[in-house]
Amino acid sequence: MSPGEDGLIGIPFPEHSNELLSRLNAQRRTGLLCDLTLTSRGARYPTHRSVMAAVSLYFSRLFGAEEGEEGEGHGCSVCQLDCVSPDALAALLEFAYTATLTIRSSGMRDVLKGAQLLGIQCVADACRDILGETETGEDPAEEAERPPSRREQDRCAVAPVRTLWRSPSAPDTPESGRPSGLLPNGGSHWTHRPEDTPSEEEESGAQGRATPQLDQSQGDGSGGGAMAANGRKRKSQMPQQCPVCQKIIHGAGKLPRHMRTHTGEKPFQCSACGVRFTRNDKLKIHMRKHTGERPYPCPSCPARFLHSYDLKNHLSLHSGDRPFECPLCHKAFAREDHLQRHRKGHSCLELRPRRPRRPPGPRPPGAFLQILEGHGVPVPLLPGARLPFPELLWRMGTAPEEAEGGSASVTHRVWEEDEEEPDAAGEEDE
């Protein structure tokens, strides 16, 4: 920079946000600087007010309202949230500090409920997507935007809530400005508890539990790690179910890799250009661009390629092979994805002739949802059936009812026996 050009220089530290969150999480786990304790049915979760206010609209408003009041202490507060199950609360806290929501499929609904109550919209949206739900009767955005009502909190409590419990020392202050359903307790203790749950004082033995329970046991089998009791050798490629999208991940050690597709975590950074990747092998391939390495030479010409599949595509040009032919217009393509793209176009849809019906009989398991991606063929669903993440299920290649625990509420067929078979069905049997 020349003298006189006193411009601002922005130096990015892409790791900063991750490190910051990681250190806050470490503080939470050790209780360091925690100024807020959330409790749920005996479980205690030390946390930080600032973090909760940042992640939760509910706490944002709660602490915002408190900010304006005088005489309210800012020491260590306790907020009793019996209307959110302990596991769901733990998962939401873990999300707040790690940007990763790790839950069992069986607990999805509790987490959704908790996220709605606490105004953590992104989590609520994700849970609703996975559950295939839409907000019933209300605008989802508005639902997540407003703090939970007293009625909602009552509805979600484990035991029926008849009265709001409050400490005898709690002053008789009006509730205006404070999230409904919570009452102050000495300025720093809000509670909303069922009558039959122990009070904080009674539950002094309850220890803080700030970590999700997923890693403790997968007794419900959703983790796919169950070992046969007969001593038979463990299957080496035990499939595991993603707790977020319910997808079955095949291959030992592949679940953490898959989970990064949800978290967006990209721990592998290119030392040359700073680009980050979710996987080490992708970074390795990327590095070839910097090193100039092209390990896949064409035997017929000087061309060299970064990827083996690039070479494969290239070789088809030499050979002239176009093995992928459109069944409608009979145009041939060297690449399957180009054929798929072609078939998605309108031209073939319009010219599409009626194809013979598939003979009756069982369909291959992998044939389920592929037609969804086909030529705009209407998908006959059973009445009331919904299809969450259709593209996901389509990728899975399994019927929802075949997927373990995933989208269990989705029961539908793709076609009726009397209906015309979609084009893609001819390719399913591969």
Partner DNA sequence: CTGGGGAAGGGGCCC
Partner DNA sequence: TGGGCCCCTTCCCCA
Q: H helices then E strands: how many in the chain?
A: 14, 12
Q: Provide the mask over 265-304, with x wherever binding to DNA is found by CB under 7 A and - wherever it is not.
A: ------------xxxxxx-xxx--x---------------
Furthest C-alpha separation in the chain: 88
Mark out the alpha helices in 31-85 (DSSP H runs): 49-55, 57-67
Write b or e for each residue in 85-119: b if 16 or more Cβ atoms lie within 10 A of its Cβ, otherwise e.
Answer: bbbbbbbbbbbbbbbbbbbbbebbebbbbbbbbbb
What count of other Cβ atoms lies within 10 Å of the Cβ of residue 230? Answer: 5
Helix (H) or strand (E) segment spanning residue 92: helix 86-98
Q: How many residues bind DNA (CB under 7 A)?
A: 56
Paired tokens of 359: 């003979």
Options 10-18, 72-80, 124-132, 309-317: segment touching DNA (CB under 7 A): 309-317
DSSP state string for 120-183:
-HHHHHHHHHHHT---SSS-HHHHHHSPPPHHHHHHHSSS---S----TT------TTS-TT-B
Give the whole-angstrom CA distance, residue 96 versus residue 99. 6
Contacting DNA (CB under 7 A), which of 23, 290, 312, 357? 312
Options 4-12, 336-344, 352-360, 414-422: segment touching DNA (CB under 7 A): 336-344
Between 176 and 216, CB nearer to DNA: 216
Is residue 225 a contact residue for DNA (CB under 7 A)?
yes
Is residue 254 a contact residue for DNA (CB under 7 A)?
yes
Between 307 and 357, CB nearer to DNA: 307
Paired tokens of 71: 């005489």
Between 195 and 337, CB nearer to DNA: 337
Between 124 and 248, CB nearer to DNA: 248
Q: Provide the mask over 355-394, with x wherever binding to DNA is found by CB under 7 A and - wherever it is not.
A: ------------------x-----------------x---
Between 74 and 250, CB nearer to DNA: 250
Is residue 237 a contact residue for DNA (CB under 7 A)?
yes
Q: Where along the sequence are the contacts to DNA (CB under 7 A)?
A: 225, 227, 234, 236-238, 247-258, 260-261, 277-282, 284-286, 289, 305-310, 312-314, 317, 331, 333-338, 340-342, 345-347, 373, 391, 395
